[in-house]
Amino acid sequence: MAAIPGSVSAPRRRRMAERKPRIIATGGAGQVGTELIRRAAANNVNLTALTRAELDITDATSIRAVLKDAQPDVVINAAAYTAVDKAEEDGDTAFAVNRDAPGHFAEACAQLGIALIHISTDYVFDGGKDGAYLESDPVKPIGVYGASKEAGEQAVRDVLDQHVIMRTSWVYAGHGGNFVRTMLRVGAERDTLKVVCDQTGAPTFAGDIADAALSIARTISAAEGERDNPPAWGTYHYTAKEHTTWHGFAEAIFDAAEPFLGRRPHVEAIPTSEYPTPARRPANSVLDCAKIDAAFAPPRRPWREGLAEVLDELLKRSKGES
């Protein structure tokens, strides 16, 4: 009898029960990818994180070859084109990375019977809602970046049932380009900074996203092939607990960093209208995470705790500590 596409054979189920889950991750040099590498051992998984140099994620043939050879239990797609403003002028690249690549992974995963966790964004919404966004709310991106990410979500849904899409927001870490590192750099140079106060969201540490994705991957791997306890496939929201504005986030950064910065700049609150950018940002990026809490119960903590961890890492690095 031919195998059902996407099904898991009894021998493979036995192998999965006898070993750590095998995971292939993309975006190995990015914020989430770096944290996936750092946290793999603590999460008891065998992780291979691929960088852009190691895998062209816009090449469907290469993707299928890599997955066929590695035979992972789960793929975590953490690669993305995240230059929000640049995307307005470079839409072809944004859509190639954010729409076409997830579609290629979904097709390969469907052919090979592999589950996919795909990282997405709050930018699929226009930010006009009064209150936290639910997964069921209509999407309405207001820029090229958001439109490309929304198209990537749909590309996954179109061809692969075994998927978990994780929308997150305001991602930062102790490495890479992000708001925390920008504030610390600019704050060391200036006495006064202007930061918008009318955009609201949940700053989310890339390490927390990595822990959540790995936790979900373990759950998927443990349940894979069990007809009585199938994974809860679908679209979910995952951010840190609680929310703030960009201005409030900046104030918290400087409150915590003052001891090692040696100074504290004044942070002036301004409306978005006084800080024009090529791409519009959602005014409301707050995502309701009750669905993912109920389905997978991944680790999720208040954003200030993630910020404290990142600032501690940066302080140790500045002192030359490991």
Q: Which residues are catalytic?
A: 145
The first and second tokens of residue 268, run together, are 């002036």
Q: How many residues does the chain have?
A: 322
CA-based nearest residue to 168, from 198, 211, 232: 211
C-alpha dist (Å) from residue 190 to 37, 264, 266, 272, 305: 35, 9, 9, 21, 26
Tell me the helix, strand and coil percentages in the chain, rounded to 5: 45, 15, 40
Distance from C-alpha of 319 to C-alpha of 44, rounded to nearest angstrom: 31
Name 185's Cβ contacts closer than 8 Å, sequence gap at least 6: none
Distance from C-alpha of 12 to C-alpha of 224, rounded to nearest angstrom: 10
